[in-house]
Structure 1
Amino acid sequence: MKETQHRVLGRRAFGGLAAGVGLAMALTACGGSSNPLSSAPASGGSASGSALVVGSADFPESQIIAEIYAGALNAAGVTASTKPNIGSREVYFKAVQDGSVDIVPDYSGNLLLHVNKDATEVSAGDIVKALPGKLPDGLAVLDASKAEDKDAMVVTKPLPRSTS
């Protein structure tokens, strides 16, 4: 099973807090309110009043996405910082559980397999439906983004003409 939609794993229930982030960055949005920042406090920061920490796995794509999320949160008036290179899914999953990290962008299919080794879901829709019910208490996932991790072939301009 290779599902490439990004999901965000979070320890806190953000309601609509980060929806503007996903919409602005075309990555991930929270479910909940029609007003993306309706639960954001007036002074910025998380609903609990502290800065959000956006973590990343130990590979460049994850680090870039974490920086994008933190930047978008900050631009929306929510105080956020990053904690890059936390490690593998096993390591950053524990970091979310222990509260040292609030949000980690992840791949929905791989995250489902992490929390349910017997998962058989293959379609994006089925994975998105199954994932919330498999997470430990206190953890939540935000809506899947439209962004995907897909391979692409990039060639020089003359190549397609010479092979036709």
Structure 2
Amino acid sequence: MTFFLLLIQLAGLSWNLTYTAEEWNCDQGQITVVLHEQSLPVTLFDIELTETGKTRACEILNQAASVTFEIDDHVAQTTPLPVWLFADGELVQRLLVEEGAASVSISNPDYTYAAQLKAASSKPVIARSAVSSVVEYNRRRGEVGLAFLCFATSGFLIVWMLSASLRRRRSERNS
């Protein structure tokens, strides 16, 4: 524990600042970021991961082009250090809660990203078993909306064609 506190002091980490990891590694939910050439074990702040969530968190991080993190001002400096983690600009905790791979630990409105986690936990769980990246996930969410629009449009066209057919039959009978 003393070594960890010394590492934080040497790295000069402060609350509510964004840090860009030089490198990162994740294995079964054990996350390590490299900052100022120092390895720093971190954990995802304010969520509880399921077993699937541990694997999914690593998938998100291993596919990310960039990883940044912030330390909430409510965090105790422990090892591993609890952080808000971002993969390619997306809050990893929010993604995992939306997928149902994690749950919110504490609903505290004073936490920096509490509103995002609350919104994510109130949304229906989005199945992502075949989704391989954050970009793919966002693309697929758009496909669901497009599919619904196509379904509604085709339903309208079918009803319109049936009513036109019925009108034509009625006019033929009346003639």
TM-score (normalizing by structure 2): 0.28
Higher strand share: 2
Higher helix share: 2
TM-score (normalizing by structure 1): 0.29
